[in-house]
Amino acid sequence: MPRQGVADPADRLLHRDEAVLILDKPAGLAVHAGPRGGPSLEDWLPRLAFGKKRLPQPAHRLDMDTAGCLVLGRTKPALALLGGFFAEGRAAKTYWAVVRGGPAAEAGEVSARLMKRSTARDGWWMAVDPAGLPAATAWRVLGRGPEGLAWLELTPRTGRTHQIRVHCAHLGCPILGDPRYGGGEGRMHLLARSIALPLDPPVRATAEPPPHMREALSACGWRP
């Protein structure tokens, strides 16, 4: 059942048609229920059915602390089609991040293979490793702020777990509020800004920055 104090995702729709929903997922809401419990999008799927017998299902994942565009399929054929778009890299995703210690250049691309690692003490994480899976992320600086902050636009060419977070850290500018990869404490400043799907007709949605990102974005030149 939905939990008290959690914003209703049905009030955060960016797009709705008979086959596809695009949701502005709030930061702090997991997409799938974890072994430790806590609220997740699964609690809210009945509210997102909008009269259909079949519950919508996410076509991809966002980390719990990442806000923004999340695509759900409302039918089996739609979910299969959407899954193919994401697997084949045909879903065009754009992210915004505020990072600590901006890159020296104004644009570039990180190409660094990623591998999952884990220990009993620290749990699991993703690491740059020549033996890992190929991963590439294009980036450009949209603005710079005080104390080494920078506002980046990031376009992942592949869809590896934690890819943007690890690639930012690999650039030497971890995402603000990402303690796992060197960004310090606080809330993670990462937004799935937009998504474009090659449907007929094409579907595109854009999410606005969540409240906790706006101060740092404004310091880097963002204007609502």
**Residue matched to tokens 């759900």:** 72
CA separation, residue 60 to residues 22, 71, 83, 215 (Å): 11, 7, 7, 29
- To the query of whether residue 63 is one of the catalytic residues in this protein, the response is yes
Question: CA nearest 62: which of 163, 138, 141?
Answer: 163
Place of tokens 């039918």: 75
Q: Is-contact 219 149, C-beta < 8 A?
A: yes
Cα angle value 196/197/202 (rounded, 5°)? 95
CA dihedral (212, 220, 173, 125) in degrees, to 10, reads 20
Q: Which one from 24, 63, 65, 178 is the annotated catalytic residue? A: 63
Catalytic sites, residue numbers = 63
